Structure 1
Amino acid sequence: MIYVNGVHFLSDSSSLEGYDMVIALLEHPYLVSASRSLCAIPERKFSVSEESGSESSVQTKCVYVFQREYAIVDPALVEVVGTDEATTCVGIVIRNRKSGMTSIAHLDSPSVVDIGLSQMLSLVSDYDDNDDAILDVHLVGAFEDSAPQGNYDPGSDPYSEIEGYSLPLCIKIVQLLAEHKVTFQIQNFQVLKHNTRWDSEGNAYPIFHGLLVETSSGSAVPASFDRSTRCPDEIIRRIRLGASFEDPRWTGRLLEAYETQTDRFVITPFSWSMRQVRIASLMRHRSDKEILLTTSTSPSAEGPDFVDTQKRVWEYLIQHPDWREVFTAKLPRVFNRTANNNWVMSMEI
């Protein structure tokens, strides 16, 4: 069930389809006001250097998720959650008002929304004891990647007629939230036209690529992260995304690496194919423009480090073609948080 400003969103419009619900949410006065307020907040540039004056300083306890990942955090152990690099993707945070348990995911396709939402809710809402739980929801990302100057023309069937990636993803998310028995209070709906800016030539770009939410208060701000805070095990987790498309075990599922109870990251062994290595060998010689056009759903809207990140992933694959060299004895890669809230790889499981 979707609620906005304490009122059941579909109380007088239960016949709305997914597309119409998205449009109605975009036009809801409360969410329009929330979008304006969010746009007035300067984007928080989250980095180790800014978080700490020196290497010995204690940094913010943060959990970051990459594309198609999710994590559930305990507010007693983690201060903030975040994600960025979203263009046609959606960063979504679901927080239990009573317990403060917070779930974050980076959704990149309608195909992962069904199972993905169940994964996100597994420790946030206990169906046996918390049927009356109120879950606050923040969504940021998914700009207007196909609609000319923000004017939709959905046709008779939104799923078959709508071009682009952003709108079908938003439709799927909203439909599932509306159908669920849990109470979802949407606090921020910073997607599509609320998250789109236009240049003088009519090209669309995202206003924000990410968000950060405080687990204690539930407050959300637009955010971007640098390489020092997209951790731990950045490259391996990025490679895992590509490998997941070739592994049927991950079909329709979000990827997990963070352990809620232990506050550590555990990347279980996975393999990458020689096909991925061959692609890496070919792609690293292509121009930046070719890389963007080949690997991005929104080539003109990616961040400045997108191409460099792709090249670092490919270089790693070329230097480590055998996954068994990375997962010694086929054991997980375990990362524990230090006293200063950095991450260190552990030999213990």
Structure 2
Amino acid sequence: MIFVDGHLSSTDSSASPQGRDILVALLEHPALVEASASFKAIPERRFSVREESVVEATPPGKWVYLFQREYATVDPAFVDFVGTDEATTCIGVAIRNPRNGMTSVAHMDSPKIVDMGLSQMLSLLVDHNKDMELDHGNYNTTSESQENMDGYSFPLGAKIVETLWKRPEKFHIRTLCILGHNTRRDPEGNAYPNFNGFMVGTSNGSITPAIFDKTSRCPDELVRRIRVSVSYKDPSWKGKLLETYDTQTDRFKIAPCCWTLQQLHFALSLQHYSDSEILIMCSTSPSAENPDFVANMRRHWDYLIKHPDWRETFPMKQPRIFERTAEGGWRKPQGADTLISRSF
């Protein structure tokens, strides 16, 4: 069930509306229009790390960062912020249990993972209290007009709200900064997101536009990027969000993933293309990507070329474990490896 401003949301269509109708009604709801405007007025916070310390203007504390198709449920006793960015045609979803502050954030990229993904997110959130606070943020390139909503983001958004509508829990939507609410255009008519990331403060559920750099997208940045790309070929992750973070222990546990010779050859062939060609071939929204998109793709391919055998990365087919340091960074447990800073 979906609630807005304390009231059960409804549409003019039927008792069992389709996702498209629900989404259009929510996007036009005055309370959510106002909430999107308020969200966009908040200054964007930048996360970066310099020599394992937090730079000026970055909020202090411990955080969990999520890549595309990942999710994490965090305990406010361990984590101050949880967030994601690099979203253009994806949708970020944040769900919080207001009774205990437990917060789950996901970076969803396809309607195919919504049903199972929301179940994964809620598995550690729902107790006897079934009232949940919910925020959406996505940063897309679809049209602002309701007459043309067939871009990448609209089907995903429609699937999310339809699934929430049908679930027994009560979802109180506070922010729906998606589609036209978060789209701007340049003089040539290209669509860009106002923001392509957010963070949630676990102590009070506040949501803030945010951007992270490669020093704060951690731990194990490159391996997690590769895991996202190769998971599409892994049947064990079909229809699921990727699990990387252990809620109870405040540790990252990156399960083994394997890459093939075909993926190695793909990396070898793409590294010779120009930046503009890589954008066109590898992005669903070439004009809206972050400035470091191509550099990140090249680092991804370089890793595959330097480590063609995935068993070098996952010796004995064991997961890669990272525990938090007292300063808030990440390191491999003693006996496993040397200190790993907040970047990898």
Q: Superposition pairs for residues 88-103 of structure 1, below 5 Å?
A: 88-103=89-104
- Amino acid paired to 1:152: Q
Aligned-residue offset at 1:200: 1.8
User: 2:207 maps to which residue?
Assistant: 220
User: 1:115 maps to which residue?
Assistant: 116
- Amino acid paired to 1:60: G
Aligned-residue offset at 1:142: 4.0
User: 2:169 maps to which residue?
Assistant: 182
How many residue pairs get aligned? The number is 333
Bigger mean CA offset, 3-12 vs 85-94: 3-12
User: 2:319 maps to which residue?
Assistant: 332
User: 2:216 maps to which residue?
Assistant: 229
Task: Normalising by structure 1, report the TM-score.
Answer: 0.91
State the distance in 1 between where 2:85 and 2:122 align: 21
2:232 aligned with 1:245: yes
User: 1:85 maps to which residue?
Assistant: 86
User: 1:137 maps to which residue?
Assistant: 134
Q: Superposition pairs for residues 1-349 of structure 1, below 5 Å?
A: 1-10=1-10, 14-49=15-50, 52=54, 59-126=60-127, 129-130=128-129, 133-145=130-142, 147=143, 150-153=144-147, 163-346=150-333
State the distance in 2 between where 1:34 and 1:101 align: 22
> Aligned to 1:71, what secondary structure does the other structure show?
strand
User: 1:157 maps to which residue?
Assistant: none
- Stretches of structure 1 that go unaligned for 5 or more consecutive residues are 155-161
From the superposition, tell whether residues 289 and 53 of structure 1 become closer, same or farther in structure 2 (CA, over 3 Å). closer
> Aligned to 2:171, what secondary structure does the other structure show?
strand
- Stretches of structure 2 that go unaligned for 5 or more consecutive residues are 337-344
- Amino acid paired to 1:224: I
State the distance in 1 between where 2:271 and 2:310 align: 20
State the distance in 1 between where 2:9 and 2:141 align: 23
Aligned-residue offset at 1:31: 0.6
- Amino acid paired to 2:147: D
Say if 1:334 and 1:348, in contact at 8 Å, map to a contact too: no
> Residues 231-287 of structure 1: CA distance to partner in whole angstroms, max 9, x if unpaired?
000000000011111111111100011000000001121211111111010111101
State the distance in 2 between where 1:253 and 1:217 align: 28
> Aligned to 1:314, what secondary structure does the other structure show?
helix
Say if 1:73 and 1:103, in contact at 8 Å, map to a contact too: yes
- Amino acid paired to 1:215: T
Say if 2:11 and 2:22, in contact at 8 Å, map to a contact too: no
> Aligned to 2:93, what secondary structure does the other structure show?
strand
- Amino acid paired to 2:212: F
State the distance in 2 between where 1:5 and 1:192 align: 21
Kindly report the root-mean-square deviation, in angstroms, between the aligned alpha carbons of the 2 structures. Answer: 1.9
> Aligned to 2:233, what secondary structure does the other structure show?
coil
Aligned-residue offset at 1:17: 2.1
Aligned-residue offset at 1:47: 1.4
Aligned-residue offset at 1:53: 5.2
State the distance in 2 between where 1:53 and 1:23 align: 41
State the distance in 2 between where 1:212 and 1:14 align: 35
Task: Normalising by structure 2, report the TM-score.
Answer: 0.93
User: 2:339 maps to which residue?
Assistant: none
